[in-house]
Structure 1
């Protein structure tokens, strides 16, 4: 699956959050560069990359090797919520139904 999120945080802070968040899920960090990270574990394989967009926003893209709505995909969405809360601490998670 492919997921994306746009935030006002810097790429470095998003990647630092990704390092912490996905390590707590038991995913080990693999190869990466200054703008991407790779994680793998029992849940699957995940690649997180960041890039600046228009100078004001950071686009966060996450690619998993899973099909459909897997546990890893749900945790990627939880990570995007963590990023959103970091950018706007007043943000509250609400059910969409």
Structure 2
């Protein structure tokens, strides 16, 4: 049991480190696309580490499955929101051409 607790603590710290680097990238990088890249990559990895730590502490497989589902939904939401932000930024700069449907 102590090994699982230590592994969970390590994964939580690693996840927190990924969140911290994503936040630093958000604050320090110059452009919208650089910031999006730093933030989405680091946050997805950070959330994956946190979910893995919680799965190790889960009491049942059903709880672990819910955690994986939450992580997958967060990945989809992050992808869609980053795409929308990048697309809006491109259109605001006048760099996006409309493609026919």
TM bucket (normalised to shorter chain) is 0.3 to 0.5
Structure with the bigger percentage of strand = 1
Structure with the bigger percentage of helix = 2
Normalising by structure 2, what TM-score? 0.34
Normalising by structure 1, what TM-score? 0.35
